[in-house]
Structure 1
């Protein structure tokens, strides 16, 4: 029975993504600290107490910056999940929570800040900065494959060479004659992304990936790994997803992109999401193909990524006779 209990706990932990579990744990720790400072009981899901908590998140009493509405909502989700794990229920529809949250949304709600998409021309300028040492071969494959497959940064570094290579892997790559197929584990099941070969060797993500695997001598386990300081070999550890964001910012600055903007502002324009947004915005194909590649359940979500979408392609004004 003890072994079954441990197995059940392991399955329960895998019900949500590792990043989500980490975020929820931080949410609970923050709430617990807030309760201790005020002598409140954190273990009882009291809607009135939660209402006061989110009020202080939106209007801190100590003069610290207020949290974004999306962060407050995420923290509420984290508290709900933590109470659920304790066999309790937090009623988020209770007026002490729902009305306060509605007021916070009305007063502090803002449109979501979106990172700039990277165009194909900009990506090639970034890639051109990279040499053919091991570290740069790895980074070239990250940029080209991440762009062509429309991957999140966690999905890029979560790839393994083969299926079931590692316990923490989020997918694997099958290289075929025509290209590569990326099979990934998502919140809603499994999805596939097809990455065909590029128009030239210099821009082909499949060739870049094969080149990295060959020279790094990787045939099992994580695809993207740390490289030794002397650039002479690879380590066994999986690369952190933060490396993708740092890589994009570094090569973007090095290529002189958006040089009319001060460096501090330029760094805020791009992130790991810029690869995914770039594919959605610049791929000249039918929208449904982009939706499938990104793994979106609806075209509405895909359109949020299409920063340069032609909003007035369908002219309802003229169609109405005006």
Structure 2
């Protein structure tokens, strides 16, 4: 039960499973499990994105916490333990979350080289029943989009502090490049080439997918110009090499050496939304990417051009980013003579 189909070019799961297993972890808290997954060789880790491994660590820690009071083993786990866990949490967790928990359990057993309880016929049987009963009541959550007008509102209060320069560059470049939060987090200074009228940003894709180069043109407005925003941030932070976006001390008075994580990217969006009166609960790190796709679609940009910027590999995935809360001028129903 994988969380999503593999992208073309990724290492097949069977090939990764053929590699030597890891000894089981000595502790089952999220940090220990994250370190355990990090011990995997690069080939095996390349099957999934870094954020997915971190999510699996959190998921498996939750499963282990549930097992502990009754003395059940989380690894290896029995099919009965897994079905009881599913039944016990189906009212409190979404079907999507439980699906990812199942994937984490299966992957952890594969990493340890022991049979996965999710392959036993009882687990899929219980899973199908629970999903049939509880699935329709919990539709997938769709975050809101940050389009240009919202982006202008977000960056309007930003001034000349190091934190303000970082957040402006992150928001503007994240929108203009339609970048995932993991891609923003992974950017290095060396990935950003500055030209007079544009930035050329090398985006390192997860897994074995090839990197792509995204062009960010000079903007008409100073406050939403990717070129000027990056130059201001790089100058204020005295960036030479290493991570492009870094953490700051509390209050943003000075920089810390650590890379800003993908969760930190989402926190920037939410914090800046709260500061200007937008609902932070409806926005996330994905809102910048969804906003770009929506704005470009609304402007009539061909899908193939949008996908070249975003790196989407399918029309369905690209279409899922579009938020249609406002009428589209290119709606075909307006051109058929009604």
Compute the TM-score of the two structures, normalised by the length of structure 2: 0.76
Alpha-carbon distance in structure 1 between the residues aligned to 2:303 and 2:314: 11
**Deviation (angstroms), 1:311:** 11
The alpha-carbon deviation at position 83 of structure 1 amounts to 0.7
Q: 1:178-232 CA distances to partner (integer Å, 9 max, x unpaired)?
A: 4222221323412322212212333211211012112221111111123456866
CA deviations on 1:70-94 (whole Å, 9 max, x unpaired) are 1101011111111111212326464
Find the residue that maps to 1:186 and give its secondary structure.
coil
Name the counterpart of 2:45.
14
Please, which of 173, 186, 189 is the counterpart of residue 206 of structure 2? 186
1:38 pairs, out of 52, 70, 88, with 70
Task: Decide whether aligned partners of structure 1 residues 14 and 176 sit closer, same or farther in structure 2, where only a CA change above 3 A counts.
Answer: farther
Q: Distance in 1 between matches of 2:330 and 2:237?
A: 48
Q: 1:1-322 alignment to 2 at 5 Å? A: 9-11=40-42, 14-15=45-46, 16-59=48-91, 66-90=92-116, 92=118, 94-109=120-135, 110-162=138-190, 172-183=191-202, 184-192=204-212, 193-227=214-248, 233-257=254-278, 266-283=279-296, 284=299, 285-308=301-324, 310=328, 313-314=331-332
Partner residue, 2:21: none
Structure 2: 5+ residue runs without aligned partners? 1-37
Summarize deviations over 1:119-177 as a string: whole Å, max 9, x none.
Answer: 20121121111002222111110110011111222321221112xxxxxxxxx222234
* Partner Cα separation in structure 1 for residue 329 and residue 235 of structure 2: 44
Report if the CA contact (8 A) 2:266-2:284 is conserved.
Answer: yes
Deviation of 1:115 after TM superposition, in Å, equals 0.9
Whether the 8 Å CA contact 2:168–2:229 is kept in 1: the answer is yes
1:9 deviates by 4.3
Considering only aligned residues, what root-mean-square deviation do their CA atoms show, in Å? Answer: 2.9
Offset at residue 310 of structure 1 (A):
4.8
Q: How many residues get paired?
A: 289
Shift of 1:27: 2.7
In 2, the alpha carbon distance for the partners of 1:54 and 1:177 equals 56
User: Residue in 1 aligned with 2:17?
Assistant: none
Distance in 2 (CA, whole Å) between partners of 1:253 and 1:42 is 39
Q: Is the Cα–Cα contact under 8 Å of residues 45 and 89 in structure 1 kept in the other structure?
A: no
Question: In structure 2, what is the Cα distance between the partners aligned to 1:204 and 1:289?
Answer: 20
